[in-house]
Amino acid sequence: MGTKTIGIREDVYERLKARKREDESFTDLVDRILDDTTVDWREGFGTLTEGDADELERIVEDSRDRTGEGLSARQREALDELADVEADDETA
């Protein structure tokens, strides 16, 4: 198998060197790091348990309820302020 030469900044080299094990080459190090960090999102697909799914659904519903309540409260406040402005305009 062939080899390639790559350029990296000195600070990155130092970080790699610090992670390199005594018995491994830089190629081995990069290969190990890539294996550790390469995650296929499909590997975990469908692993949510029934209990976790129910809890997630409850959390989402609670969040929607709180958001809806907040929007309603702000709408009421805005309507009250508008009514006050209109009342002031009529008395002026």
Domain-embedded: residue 70: yes
Domain-embedded: residue 5: no
Statement to judge: residues 61 and 78 lie in one domain = yes
Domain-embedded: residue 1: no
- What's the domain count of the chain? 2
Residue pLDDT, tens place only, 2-61: 889 999 999 999 999 999 999 999 999 999 998 877 677 777 777 888 888 899 999 999
Statement to judge: residues 27 and 60 lie in one domain = no
| Whether the predicted pLDDT of 92 surpasses 70 | no
| Structural domain harbouring 19 | 10-40
pLDDT of res. 17? 95
Q: State how far the alpha carbon of 5 is from the alpha carbons of 26, 27, 51, 56, 78, in Å.
A: 12, 11, 51, 48, 65
State the pTM of this model. 0.40
Statement to judge: residues 33 and 62 lie in one domain = no
Statement to judge: residues 19 and 53 lie in one domain = no
pLDDT of res. 61? 93
